[in-house]
Structure 1
């Protein structure tokens, strides 16, 4: 399953706001339009928006070839893309790499080609990394495991395969998986709409559950582990992920269930000391009071919608990366991991 298709002059994105009822692709030829698509969650998931942002810069360079002030315009596009969604660090990570290409390429006539090559590398690396995360996560479990997951962390949220859902895919492929419980993930319903869509497509046994059912399932000993994704991991292991993740971590700790975060090293932000420093995106109240444009609340009702929450590192059993599983103390293990591998 694929959510991003690319070429040098355009980027095609599967509109995830229409899934699962409709599979609609949109074509984008400017960085500004891709930034808006990211903001509108037509493409979402930290690794996916990083990849989409990288190709947006490449597409913009192709469009602006031969124009005056090419580099200034591209840097402006990069800055605009950075602001599309503030919590996920992968977008900034990708923009840093595109800026490095702009700085390192002396010949303006070669910029578009160089930026496209870098975006392609980011996409290809993401797929390789996801498969490695899946294998590393699967190695944590014996057979017959029952996993609870949150939001959508699969092919739709990445270049392909997935992070937390990549672990589930690998478990299924190895014959280790018994069942998946997919949180619906209110208020945007990424679990009910997107994770269920992918699991059904893959033939993986699952049930959608409301977010409020998780505690009951754990109490009834129906869950062996929780595996979630991440949008940013601070130096101390504090993890920003889709709203509702923190509650799962607290419930898992109470019930003695391991709680794993699956994420590429590009999601680790050592410059952020703790979760207190992670910016939390505040989205429209209408996404809470409405579902697909249909009001579910009284006229005049107000609502809060922080898109993410932060799970303290002390509640995270382990962070599953492409280089293996990292455990506490994260202030030591995360810098050591990045230093060793990069």
Structure 2
């Protein structure tokens, strides 16, 4: 089945008693929704990249807990919390880098701890999962406004921006983080064009970002990562705008592999660098980026493209999925609580307090 709006897309849908996920592996050729009725299948969907993007993974995992709780209470009504804890751990193990996953699971566990073991838990947990989903969309719209305001302040630097990977409605509960800023800036007439990196090896930029922007009528050109320096040198790029999978206490940012490259190039070319992420992406328990676990995936993703081998047999492969951009290369981190310019430990602590910075 397929259910999309004219100017947007829902990648995560709770319908009646089950979860629907738009299979992002099939885009842009097909818009196919897969149905999930148990948490183990949701965990596999996260690992297998049916759903991806740190905020979207957190939202999907929250709904996965709802499915797990329903099944646990049905099978072991007296000890369902113990059974559920094991199923939550499977969800937690699905992908190691995106901290939103653990944030969402911790929020669900906090509710589970307070529930009466004799009462069916599904309704209470579904309420929280929906709140997580809806709050992510609201946060994205707020970040969109904050980020667009920053772009408005630097309009004389250029009318185009560059982005990396996919950070739109597909990667979040809806609307988008970095792509949400870009959408808002375009709607306000602040930018005319987006340069989208193709994002090897999963081609999220080519398959997903280009698809999202084109369906919304936002002018986009697709480029290989190796063209980024040339584009910054020859085109009117004012900002690089990216998302994040984890941000540490000092403002270091883990994001899709290749982000670090762009930050170095942006500094050299005088292009400003913006990270857009909800505060659920910030992990104050980690001092700096070296503490972030970096997921490595299999060699097949590198040596094959859609089943066609493009590399020599038995060639060694190094396939890190993320890299870490040091805080001193980042101009601003935009969150729903406010904007951190030139992030430091002190500024990140202030952000994570109840006081707004912007």
TM-score range, shorter chain: over 0.9
Give yes or no for contact 2:166–2:208 (8 Å, CA) kept in 1.
Answer: yes
Matches within 5 A, 1:302-317: 302-317=316-331
The aligned residue for residue 194 of structure 2 is: 180
Give yes or no for contact 2:81–2:117 (8 Å, CA) kept in 1.
Answer: no
User: 2:138 aligned to 128, 143, 147, which one?
Assistant: 128
User: 2:51 aligned to 30, 39, 43, which one?
Assistant: 43
Alpha-carbon separation, structure 2, partners of 1:59 and 1:77: 10
The aligned residue for residue 337 of structure 1 is: 351
Deviation by residue 1:73-105 (Cα, 9 ceiling, x = unmatched):
111111111110100000000000011011011
Q: Verify: 1:168 aligned to 2:186, yes or no.
A: no
RMSD: 1.3
User: 2:85 aligned to 38, 57, 75, which one?
Assistant: 75
Which ranges in structure 1 are unaligned for 5 or more consecutive residues?
A: none
In the TM superposition, residue 328 of structure 1 has moved relative to its aligned partner by 3.0
TM-score norm. by structure 1 comes to 0.97
Q: Identify which range, 12-21 or 59-68, moves more after superposition.
A: 59-68
Q: Verify: 1:255 aligned to 2:265, yes or no.
A: no
Give yes or no for contact 1:262–1:320 (8 Å, CA) kept in 2.
Answer: yes
User: 2:172 aligned to 147, 155, 158, which one?
Assistant: 158
Give yes or no for contact 2:201–2:301 (8 Å, CA) kept in 1.
Answer: yes
Deviation by residue 1:47-93 (Cα, 9 ceiling, x = unmatched):
00000000000012123333322101111111111110100000000
User: 2:95 aligned to 70, 85, 95, which one?
Assistant: 85
Alpha-carbon separation, structure 2, partners of 1:289 and 1:149: 25
Give yes or no for contact 1:46–1:90 (8 Å, CA) kept in 2.
Answer: yes
Give yes or no for contact 2:333–2:343 (8 Å, CA) kept in 1.
Answer: no
Q: Identify which range, 263-272 or 213-222, moves more after superposition.
A: 213-222
Q: Identify which range, 9-18 or 258-267, moves more after superposition.
A: 9-18
In the TM superposition, residue 329 of structure 1 has moved relative to its aligned partner by 4.3
The aligned residue for residue 294 of structure 1 is: 308
Give yes or no for contact 2:159–2:236 (8 Å, CA) kept in 1.
Answer: no
Q: Verify: 1:14 aligned to 2:28, yes or no.
A: no
User: 1:64 aligned to 55, 60, 72, which one?
Assistant: 72
TM-score norm. by structure 2 comes to 0.93
The aligned residue for residue 250 of structure 2 is: 236
Give yes or no for contact 2:338–2:351 (8 Å, CA) kept in 1.
Answer: no
